[in-house]
Structure 1
């Protein structure tokens, strides 16, 4: 039996839920298919919960525009919907003289991206803000912050459902095909069924490539490779030694082993970049040894044995080890030739920050 619906969104992470909300607010009938039994159980629940300012990325990238736009939308949404967050600010620290020139480049890039509140500060001012941080200079980013990611997803789900959307859990996509007037999606689970939709949005994060490949008619040459890169986090007991987010200068593959705070005042360090790991969510306690040196470059008072395993996340990167970073890949009908279909690939950080802007961009690609 084939059911007919207006719009199917595949994936109930933060981006899928934001897209569902955006489309229901525009009057679309939306069904969200989620292969797991709860919202956001993969990428969206296993990140640093940071609201990024949009500093580092190429100014020509879609990722950059969506991060800067999304940050403003997200702060407004949190305020209007009671989502817990805190605009605590961030320090990007240079730990030796050789890194000071890199701060100049980061500052210039951020300003080109439209992040207008960045400020270069010296060692003394940095120590006034963060007495426990060792550095020779820093960039202060006042608009960086932290958020309750699960609270955000619950608010987005509630918004979408209150406007008529339905979220179907334990509903994996097992196949599909392009047909006249739309796309048929084969749904597995306890009660398999087929859905014929006028519009489909693939927002499946780690599973996006598999879903696109399972749809007969999606050109395989348009599906980018995925690299599922694991990042581990460690924490320390007690209240955090910092009041701001603390980031070193970026490293290849990521933003370095930084210190982030949660809304309860606890600190976690990470993520590292584990290129060769199996993409599971366990944390090997032995990896802490690799963290101590990186953290002590800016927090020299970290005690031996203080680091405890916290959690791990897996990022859907589109570039592999040794390859340059790439932009988000959001393909609409003009890219793959299928009317009514949008596919989102490689939505890693700053995907949470960008989620509301990604939703608006996706909606503009649909009829």
Structure 2
């Protein structure tokens, strides 16, 4: 049996960030990844947006770690010369009655420590984006975009430089706490013994927690899967900034984002599914996209949208329920010393990754 200081389950952006941070404290770290490459699930199927920290309830982990993580992420990207753009975002009211929502978002942003938002008139907004329709907007200059794969490769490199290891094709089969240590068995039969496990398995985090004998089952939330479909724009985008409509119950609406090459993509919508492997984009969903997008881009041409890709949000709240906060759970809650669960790490998980890592390291040091 191999002995290691720490095992991180999951090599998405959050798992890699956490493993890197722990390895840089001098611990020996292994990362077990079920897939044949890093970041192939939620981390590679997002909008790749660096969020400002506007939408989340004051005092929540999402609010605090997003605002903190945004600053850390920009610094990291600049320091490592990784590709990103601080392109900014327009949050738009397309009807007069939505102006109150803009004002509410502004108040929420200030409560969360985001002080750089600016109200724009319709004329000011359309001066920035001539094809845009709105009655008013909020401008967020600290919103940006990045190459999530380049970020993950860099985090992986940092982890290896600190002595850490990523084991691909290594799903966790079972775990048990006994005699002051956690014994893990991977699907290929590899046995590991450790004092510290970080469950950063994303879509599989709840299932991974259930693999651990002795964990209080009543503390493990039910996994919910909110599929987000994306469509891309055929041809050149007339927009140079991100455009977000008013938020919806389970997401931020069908917004317009850009990749680093200037390609416009729209989404995600919200489609509740039972299977996290359900990643097919149904072309027929494009009809609802046209309707949503034309509320802020009325001249979107017919036939301009093409199905692109889908991602699954690893939610722990279901349809009609208030959006859950990140749930970062220690032995005090679930009863297994040395095991930390990261549940419901959906958006803004990418933006928050480095801050989540620091938070986890702080929890380790506190025990």
Query: Is the pair's TM-score, using the shorter chain for normalization, greater than 0.5?
Result: yes
Cα distance in 2, alignment partners of residues 186 and 105 from structure 1? 49
Cα distance in 1, alignment partners of residues 275 and 182 from structure 2? 33
Question: Taking structure 1 as reference, are residues 278 and 287 closer, same or farther at Cα in structure 2, changes over 3 Å only?
Answer: farther
Q: What whole-Å deviation, never above 9, does each CA across 1:117-152 have from its counterpart, x for those lacking one?
A: 011111010011111110000000000000000000
Q: Could you state the TM-score of these two structures normalised by the residue count of structure 1?
A: 0.98
Q: What whole-Å deviation, never above 9, does each CA across 1:149-208 have from its counterpart, x for those lacking one?
A: 00000000000001100000000101110112221111013xx21111111000000000
Shift of 1:365: 1.1
Shift of 1:102: 0.7
Cα distance in 1, alignment partners of residues 63 and 331 from structure 2? 22
| Residues 34, 169 of structure 2: 8 Å contact kept | yes
| Residues 230, 277 of structure 1: 8 Å contact kept | no
Aligned to 1:101: 100
Aligned to 1:136: 135
Cα distance in 2, alignment partners of residues 278 and 153 from structure 1? 25
Matched, 1:273 2:270: yes
Unaligned stretches of 5+ residues in structure 2: none
Aligned to 2:255: 258
Shift of 1:338: 2.2
Provide the secondary structure at the position in 1 that maps to 2:260: coil
Aligned to 1:164: 163
Shift of 1:238: 2.0
Shift of 1:277: 6.1
Cα distance in 2, alignment partners of residues 305 and 169 from structure 1? 41
| Residues 229, 316 of structure 1: 8 Å contact kept | yes
Aligned to 2:75: 76
Unaligned stretches of 5+ residues in structure 1: none
Q: What whole-Å deviation, never above 9, does each CA across 1:194-230 have from its counterpart, x for those lacking one?
A: 1111110000000000110010011101101110111
Matched, 1:339 2:325: no
Q: Map of 1:296-315 to 2, 5 A cutoff? A: 296-315=294-313
Q: Which moved further from structure 2: 325-334 or 265-274?
A: 325-334
Aligned to 2:7: 8
Cα distance in 2, alignment partners of residues 278 and 355 from structure 1? 25
| Residues 231, 314 of structure 1: 8 Å contact kept | yes
Q: What whole-Å deviation, never above 9, does each CA across 1:25-68 have from its counterpart, x for those lacking one?
A: 11010000000000000000000000000001101201110000
- Name the count of aligned residue pairs: 364
Among candidates 193, 204, 218, match of residue 221 of structure 1: 218
Cα distance in 1, alignment partners of residues 215 and 81 from structure 2? 40
Question: Taking structure 1 as reference, are residues 331 and 211 closer, same or farther at Cα in structure 2, changes over 3 Å only?
Answer: same
| Residues 224, 274 of structure 2: 8 Å contact kept | no
Cα distance in 2, alignment partners of residues 110 and 183 from structure 1? 41
Shift of 1:335: 2.2
| Residues 205, 345 of structure 1: 8 Å contact kept | yes
Aligned to 1:350: 348
| Residues 24, 162 of structure 2: 8 Å contact kept | yes
Q: Which moved further from structure 2: 280-289 or 35-44?
A: 280-289
| Residues 176, 185 of structure 1: 8 Å contact kept | yes
Aligned to 1:317: 315
Cα distance in 1, alignment partners of residues 72 and 202 from structure 2? 21
Cα distance in 2, alignment partners of residues 334 and 72 from structure 1? 30
Aligned to 1:114: 113
Matched, 1:23 2:22: yes
Cα distance in 2, alignment partners of residues 118 and 324 from structure 1? 25
Provide the secondary structure at the position in 1 that maps to 2:193: strand
Shift of 1:278: 4.1
Cα distance in 2, alignment partners of residues 322 and 266 from structure 1? 33
Q: What whole-Å deviation, never above 9, does each CA across 1:65-111 have from its counterpart, x for those lacking one?
A: 00000000000000011211000000000001010111000110001
